[in-house]
Amino acid sequence: MAHGLNVYKADGSLGFSTADVTWQTLDQFTVAANASVSNTYNEASGFTIIAQRQLVNVPPNAQEDYVPNVTVNGTTVSVAPQSGLSSSQCIIHVLSQDT
């Protein structure tokens, strides 16, 4: 390589380098049923932010499990129940990528 950073594994093979692309983790948290959360991540200013949602402890064949809505506005990530609906407990992974 002419320039950049290579990170090698213990066996000497290349593990990660400046040729790679990644998503970094801004935050991980669990939102209780019917709860709302709003967090701001100033360290990710200028980055693309996404949030993955994973329902927790869903009994998939027994009830209606509504996932909460997630909105990303700048560096603020807001989680809230869908309008007029009760939301289920949900894991939120907030990821960022410099783009």
Alpha-carbon distance of 27 to 92, in angstroms, equals 8
Identify which of residues 23 and 80 has a Cβ nearer to other proteins in the complex.
23
Q: Which residues bind other proteins (CB under 8 A)?
A: 4-5, 7-10, 15-16, 18-26, 28, 30, 43-44, 47, 50-58, 60-67, 69, 91, 93, 95-99
**Rounded to the nearest 5°, which phi and psi values hold at 24?**
-100, 160
74: phi then psi, degrees, rounded to nearest 5: 65, -120
Q: Closer to other proteins at the Cβ: 38 or 56? A: 56
Nearer to other proteins, 38 or 55 (CB): 55
Among the listed residues 48, 46, 47, 54, the one whose alpha carbon sits nearest the alpha carbon of residue 28: 54
Tell me the closest approach of the beta carbon of residue 90 to other proteins, in angstroms: 9
Least separation in angstroms between residue 81's CB and other proteins is 12
Report the SS3 class of residue 31. Answer: strand
CA 80 to chain centre: 15
Q: How far is the CB of 53 from other proteins (least distance, A)?
A: 6
